[in-house]
Structure 1
Amino acid sequence: MERLDKFLARELNITRSGARLLIRSGGVSVNASPACSADRKIDPDADGVFVNGREISYNKYVYIMMNKPKGVISSSDGRRTGEKTVVDLLPPEMKRKDLFPAGRLDKDTTGFVLITDDGGFAHDILSPKNHIEKTYIAVLDKPFDAAVRRDFENGMELGGKTCMPAALESVGGHPACAKIVLKQGMYHQIKRMFKKHGITVLELKRIAMGALELDENLAPGQARYIGKEELSLVKKSTKYV
């Protein structure tokens, strides 16, 4: 059971005082009966809550796919640095308290960011022991060769550590455009792996997490909800590695 004002504040992304004001205004009903008390206890799974005639759907957690643009940080709070975050880009109807990106992309890296308020799920997909795959497309300043591919696939030595084997292949037959599949997330890993071979990454985009691919219909900065069936794909292998 949950207080009505707490439920409304979370689901409508408003303050508790704002929720209480909404209740006092007479615009809230529960199971077709007017709700007058902010501390009324409801069962979000069973009770129907309406605001001005519109039912408020209940989702304990939400999962959002965003096509991150350049120049935005993968954080939920940019107040310390004054920078715009991926959560800032969400439209008002998608925002709710406690949202955060599950994993980070560099500021100049684009593509798939998963935003959620489910800490348990985020822990599962970010835990190094689970080896969730992330797939990227990189535009390079020069072609890579078979020796670079072997180094990726065999587990490259990087900064005194041995990387997990990673898949590397050209895209469309162009060796200066690469697809990379990683099972770990070291700092600036892809850029450092190519830099070891004298290659600079000019553009980097994440196109998949596990077997869930970035929706090609999402323009940079746009986002959509991830369905339950899609969500299960995040933990599935692409079979590349």
Structure 2
Amino acid sequence: MRLDKFLADNSLYSRAQIKRLMHREEVTVNGEVVKDPGFKVTDTDEVMLEGEAMRAVGLRYFMLHKPKGYVCSTDDPEHSSVLALLDDKERFGLHMAGRLDLDTTGLVLLTDDGQWSHRVTSPKHDCAKRYRVWLDDPLIDDAEQRFEEGVQLRGERHLTKPATLERVSETEVLLTISEGKYHQVKRMFAALDNKVVDLHREAIGPLELDASLGEGEYRPLTAEEVALLG
């Protein structure tokens, strides 16, 4: 692996910052100063950055209880990323396996395993997501049937995939969908002339949000939980 990539993947520095540190002779491999970012390193090399031994971090998987006001992105200039909720030493190299809107709460998965996150988010894998939805108006009588048959979203050519709707009350429902179009849940209820006033994701596939996690809290997934979506 390229030395600059190895260091960026296993530290809080970007590759550009790593190159500057290399220029300042802050990087050594097997005791020798290395300034070439493309220098190849192996698992047996001893790599030091600013006097600290660097080791490859294994693949990591976290669940986070997202609060309102945070974005599942790293390039929003106006709002904080959900990554800001993680400890500094844990957030580097992670990305979101699926997103939630700014005002939506609930389960977000974070990982540095690209293949695993692809299985979670790819439409080909039909990974179901369950949401608890609070509505502005009482739900119409035939909502379950219409969602099962698919609804026409504004601006879309095709109907949504079949979705499962369970009534909790006249204005609170559980909705399970297997795709992730832009603002899909809100647009599905808009197609029924209703408005979502609050939205919370409870589960992704068979993996449910840990009830012990308060908003803004997170924990690593167990090996069994990783395998549920693997």
**TM-score bucket (shorter structure):** 0.7 to 0.9
Aligned equivalent of 1:93, options 89, 93, 101: 89
- 2:111 — aligned with what? 116
Kept in 1, the 8 Å contact 2:27–2:48? The answer is no
Q: Give runs of aligned pairs for residues 47-196 of structure 1, distance below 5 A.
A: 58-79=56-77, 82-97=78-93, 99-159=94-154, 160-171=157-168, 174-196=169-191
What is the TM-score with the length of structure 2 in the denominator?
Answer: 0.78
| 1:34-70 deviation line (CA, Å, top 9, x unaligned) | x6346698755x899999xx99774342222111111
Alpha-carbon distance, 1:120 to partner: 2.3
Alpha-carbon distance, 1:220 to partner: 1.4
Gaps of 5+ in 1: 25-34, 236-241
Alpha-carbon distance, 1:23 to partner: 7.0
Alpha-carbon distance, 1:122 to partner: 2.2
Alpha-carbon distance, 1:83 to partner: 2.1
Kept in 1, the 8 Å contact 2:152–2:191? The answer is no
User: How far apart, CA to CA, are the structure 2 residues paired with 1:157 and 1:73?
Assistant: 27
Amino acid at match of 2:80: K
Distance change (3 Å), C-alpha of 1:55 and 1:209: farther
> Segments of 4+ in structure 1 off by > 6 A?
17-24, 46-51, 54-57
Identical residues among aligned pairs (%): 36
Alpha-carbon distance, 1:149 to partner: 1.0
Gaps of 5+ in 2: none
Kept in 2, the 8 Å contact 1:2–1:43? The answer is no
Distance change (3 Å), C-alpha of 1:112 and 1:18: farther
Kept in 2, the 8 Å contact 1:166–1:183? The answer is yes
User: How far apart, CA to CA, are the structure 1 residues paired with 2:57 and 2:198?
Assistant: 36
Distance change (3 Å), C-alpha of 1:56 and 1:175: farther
Distance change (3 Å), C-alpha of 1:58 and 1:161: same
Once superposed, what is the RMSD of the aligned Cα atoms?
3.2
2:83 partner SS:
coil
What is the TM-score with the length of structure 1 in the denominator?
Answer: 0.75
